[in-house]
Amino acid sequence: MDTTLYYAPGAASFLVHWLLIELDVPHRLNLVDTAAKVQKSPEYLALNPNGVVPTLVIDGKPQYEAAALAMLLAERNPDARLAPAFDDAKRGDYLQWMFNLANMVQPLFRQWWYPGEPAGETNADAIRAHCAPRIEAEWQRIDGHLAARGPYLLGDDLSVADFYLVMLMRWSRNMPKPAMEWPHLAALAHRLKALPSFTTLYAREGLTEWA
Ligand SMILES: N[C@@H](CCC(=O)N[C@@H](CS)C(=O)NCC(=O)O)C(=O)O
């Protein structure tokens, strides 16, 4: 399988890059200069019409959406057991958590990082002010779940949903109340940050914050 990841350090591509390393999938990296808006260039839009990272080109076919790519990688590498099989009792919870993170949590970060999008630049401060407590409420909800049924989102079974959650947690590191202030979330993040793949990812993306 010929695989190329279009990425930007620390962006939503972080999840896909991390899993490519964790699953030992041979791949090439293509750095997208988001500050220079390369993601809005005609060449990139031909790969990903949303004009965002990540894009994963597999055997010449571009695919996008970080959560979908994480699920695809888990399915194509079943020996790693990072997703419950179709007939596994935990399959429903797995799908629920992947979509919950993608639909409820990640969009709040889009608002936090791009507060002009929902209601224009003049309302950016108000959007951010409303966004922070909503993200904190998500941490409270997920921490409660981990307290009752952790240590991972699927109990004793590590899955790509946990990698996804840790990436989202990382994005809160400079917020007024970062995710690491919730004890069960912090415990999960410490477990995943201890993986050798996390260290490799940091080195390859040149990241230092939240190491
Ligand atoms: N739903 C998309 C969202 C991706 C996304 O928002 N990526 C951001 C970086 S985290 C991006 O490319 N921003 C640049 C831009 O919007 O121009 C996914 O999960 O893949």
**Ligand 1 atom 17 nearest Cα:** 52
> Do 71 and 128 lie in a common domain?
no
Per-residue pLDDT for 78 more than 90? yes
Q: Is 138 a domain residue?
A: yes
Tell whether the model's pLDDT for residue 36 goes beyond 90.
Answer: yes
What number of other Cβ atoms are within 10 A of residue 157's Cβ? Answer: 17
User: Is ligand 1 within 6 A of the CB of residue 70?
Assistant: no
Candidates 15, 30, 52: which one to mutate for ligand 1, based on the most atoms within 8 Å of Cβ? 52
How many Å lie between the centroid of ligand 1 and the Cα of residue 83? 24
* Same domain as 7, residue 74: yes
Specify if 210 maps to a domain.
no
What's the token pair of residue 203?
A: 């080195």
Mean of pLDDT over the chain = 98
Distance 168 CA to ligand 1 centre (A): 13
154 and 84 in contact (C-beta within 8 Å)? yes
Closest by CA position to 162, among listed 189, 140, 144: 189
| Same domain for 133 and 109 | yes
What are 17-35's pLDDT values in tens digits? 999 999 999 999 999 999 9
Name the closest-CA residue to atom 12, ligand 1.
52
Say yes or no: 123 and 76 in one domain.
no
**pLDDT band at 1; cut points 50, 70, 90:** confident
Looking at ligand 1, which residue's alpha carbon is closest to its atom 18? 65
Residue 95 and residue 32 share a domain: no
Domain that holds residue 101: 91-194
